[in-house]
Amino acid sequence: MSSWILQKFKTRHGLVEKGAEGVLQRYDGQPYDSNRFELVEDAWEHDHCVLCGQMLMENTSDNAIDAGYTDG
């Protein structure tokens, strides 16, 4: 069972596959293959609230809010 908590979104590091465009996954300290992925600072720029689906961003816009329910 997941534990959902209401928290402000904060931009995080992300893993990008070398030779590809876009961030593939949020980096939370997990091991990764440095031959395949590049760790990019502040690449994870948004997420989505698991309850309502609203976009979460550190710097809010018309389509985003700065806090929501996430698993971390």
Q: Using CA atoms, how far apart are residues 67 and 55, in angstroms rounded to an integer?
A: 9
- Binned at pLDDT 50, 70 and 90, residue 43 comes out as confident
Q: Using CA atoms, how far apart are residues 50 and 72, in angstroms rounded to an integer?
A: 11
Which candidate, 56, 31, 26, places its Cα nearest to that of 41? Answer: 26
- Edge-to-edge strand ranges of the sheet holding 64-65: 46-48, 55-57, 64-65
- Binned at pLDDT 50, 70 and 90, residue 72 comes out as low
Over residues 13-24, mean pLDDT? 85
pLDDT digits (tens, 9 = 90+) for 49-70: 888 888 888 877 667 888 888 7
Q: Using CA atoms, how far apart are residues 51 and 67, in angstroms rounded to an integer?
A: 12
